[in-house]
Amino acid sequence: MQDIQNKWINMCKEIGIPCSDSYSMLDSLGDPVQIQDWAIAGLPVDDFSQDSAIISHNAGRWPLFIDPQGQANNWIKNAYKEKNLLVLKMSSPKYTDALQRAITSGLPALIEDVGEELDPALSK
């Protein structure tokens, strides 16, 4: 990722667009207190994990985590535990009803073990 950022900075300088010599999503969009809270909740402290958390926190829609090691899953569960996080599985027979209740109540929801295709109801 750093290589892409360096290429972007060099290209901007070549065509005369003012920019700084380095870029960090953490410095631009990160809130140190929020990031510390995330670390306490189990978010790994590497740049990729922190950048991903910043993107998901600032996204206008729900984030999708590809999480083979389960780190994001554990982080989300810890970070939103006190906010009544609803953990759902798409294989559960009442998952759409529970998700609808969470949305109408304004509660956070985590859908685990999503396969290769998303439920069409999620795209609305």
- Given this model, what pLDDT does residue 11 score? 92
Q: Is 38 exposed, middle or buried (0-12, 13-18, 19+ CB in 10 A)?
A: buried
- Given this model, what pLDDT does residue 1 score? 66
pTM of the model: 0.75
Structural tokens at position 62: 């729900």
96 near 118, Cβ under 8 Å?
no
Structural tokens at position 92: 């559960």
d(C-alpha 56, C-alpha 59), whole Å: 5
- Mean of the pLDDT values across residues 95-113? 89
Name the pLDDT band for 14 (thresholds 50, 70, 90).
Answer: very high
Q: What is the mean pLDDT of the chain?
A: 87
- Given this model, what pLDDT does residue 47 score? 87
- Mean of the pLDDT values across residues 5-13? 88
- Mean of the pLDDT values across residues 32-46? 93
What b/e string do you get for 62-99 counting C-beta neighbours within 10 Å, with b at 16 or more?
A: eeeeeeeeeebbebbbebbeeeebbebebeeeebeebb
Name the pLDDT band for 124 (thresholds 50, 70, 90).
Answer: low
